[in-house]
Amino acid sequence: MRVGEQSRDPIDQILGEVPVPASLTPEDVRLAVRAVVVHAAEEWPAGPKCRNDGAAYPCRLHRWGRRVLEAHGLNERQIDALVRHGNPFVHVPFPFVLTGPRTPAPPGPAPRGQAGRPVAPGVRPVARPGGSGRPVPPPATGRPRWPRAS
């Protein structure tokens, strides 16, 4: 069965779909990542089944997780990359923003640091006590990067 098809499982027909929250929270996104990873497909002779509960793939929770992640802004390739990665605790940024090519800076003078020199984008000038006031790159967050769709 494909992800978008209607399930023929009697339980799914009785219970219906799990509703997607009207406004998503970071907790909804975390639970959706866990749902799509834990309830991934497993091949059986009769066809793919959910590896967590043995229902026909995709099960109710996997479908719900995909709908939440799509509402959050991820596309199918990115969701499939999360499933292939296999870590149900991987971090998806909230709010999710696609990072594409940088837009050119608006016309006008470039931002300048304390010494009057132009400052590179993404670098903030910081005055150090007794220092020269050179630009300092932003600190690393220490969080693992989530997998990119390739």
Q: What is the DSSP letter of 29?
A: H
Q: Which of 18-22, 77-81, 130-134 has the highest mean pLDDT?
A: 77-81
Listed in sequence order, the residues at least 6 apart from 126 whose beta carbon sits closer than 8 Å to its beta carbon are 133, 135, 136
- Other C-beta atoms closer than 10 Å to the C-beta of 76 total 12
Please report, as a single letter, which amino acid is at residue 45.
Answer: P
Residue with the bigger pLDDT between 128 and 78: it is: 78
Q: Residue 1: what pLDDT?
A: 47
* Interval 57-92: pLDDT, tens: 888 899 999 999 999 999 999 999 999 998 998 888
Q: Residue 68: what pLDDT?
A: 94
Angle at 33 between CA 150 and CA 42, to 5 degrees: 75
Tokens of 129: 């006590």
pLDDT band for 131, please (50, 70, 90 cuts): low
Query: Rounded mean pLDDT of 12-37?
Result: 88
Residue with the bigger pLDDT between 104 and 76: it is: 76
